[in-house]
Amino acid sequence: MSKDENCKPDLEDLFDDFAHPNPQIKEEAYLKMSRYWPEESMPRLLANLDQTDIELRRASVKALGVFGRRSLLPLVQIFHASENRIVRTSCLKAFVQVAVKFPGEAFPKEAMEVVELALQDDIPELILTVVPLLSLLGNQGFPLLLQSCKSKNILLAAIAVTALGEVDVPAAEACLKELQTDDLIDDLLRGSVIDALNTLEQRNAGNPSTQ
């Protein structure tokens, strides 16, 4: 038996720690779950996405992020199987956690299809979660982000415009300037475009390498 196997923590002990109020103890528990018990722990974390206990649900969302791509397809299945907006939003928040913890790693086609479905929904919680995800996905999320900027849903369009001002994609500035000159654009949205351009200019001014 290897030294690593010899010190393998007990899974039930890890789930006891996962219920601890101390966030550091929670984090250490789910990191060990991912390392030592991925096949056994991930289904239990996924099952927590419809929990009424908000803290448990949020902790499970964060924990699923450390599993990376392994968690994406199960999350896709849960999203499609549920009509519950809390469950669907939790799936998308777990997507966000994966994108944060594994920057630059492309999402599979099935996950991007879920993202597109969420963008077509009018539920604010989904929109407020999925648009920041697009900005985290960089070039992979950029086409959908640009498409969202032209949406008739003003909330979606405004949030997408703001996100466009924060993405590290060279074409973002040109797209924002094109939106600014669109005579048909909503006045409220035009203000968001100007703010996004200002954000880009300030960032570029602070980073001469982007000039």
What's the mean pLDDT when you consider all of the chain?
90
100 or 202, which is more confident: 100
pLDDT surpasses 80 at 5: no
How many other CB atoms sit within 10 Å of the CB of residue 165?
22
For 88-147, the pLDDT digits (tens) are 999 999 999 999 999 989 999 999 999 999 999 888 999 999 999 999 998 899 999 999
186 or 68, which is more confident: 68
Q: Per mean pLDDT, which of 1-5, 67-71, 144-148 is the most reliable? A: 67-71
pLDDT at 3: 46
Would 11-102 and 121-206 be classified into the same CATH topology?
A: yes
Taking a C-beta distance cutoff of 8 angstroms, is the pair 64, 94 a contact? Answer: yes
As a whole number of angstroms, the distance between CA 74 and CA 51 comes to: 17
pLDDT at 211: 46
How many other CB atoms sit within 10 Å of the CB of residue 97?
21
- Residue boundaries of the structural domains of the chain: 11-102, 121-206
CA atoms within 13 A on the CB side of 128: 7
Which whole-number Å values give the CA distances from 10 to 5, 14, 15, 73, 170, in the listed order?
11, 6, 9, 27, 48
Residue length of the chain? 211
Question: Hunting for tokens 């077509």 — which residue is that?
Answer: 120
Structurally, at CATH architecture level, domain 11-102 sits in Alpha Horseshoe (1.25)
pLDDT surpasses 90 at 176: no
Taking a C-beta distance cutoff of 8 angstroms, is the pair 149, 164 a contact? Answer: yes
196 or 204, which is more confident: 196
Q: How many degrees, rounded to 5, is the angle at CA 161 between CA 61 and CA 108?
A: 45
pLDDT surpasses 50 at 1: no
pLDDT at 117: 95
pLDDT at 92: 97
Per-residue confidence at 172, pLDDT binned at 50, 70, 90? Answer: confident
1 or 122, which is more confident: 122
Class of domain 121-206: mainly alpha
pLDDT at 2: 45
Per-residue confidence at 6, pLDDT binned at 50, 70, 90? Answer: low
Taking a C-beta distance cutoff of 8 angstroms, is the pair 175, 145 a contact? Answer: no
Burial of 181 (0-12, 13-18, 19+ CB in 10 A): exposed
Average pLDDT estimate for 32-59: 96
Question: Hunting for tokens 């648009």 — which residue is that?
Answer: 131
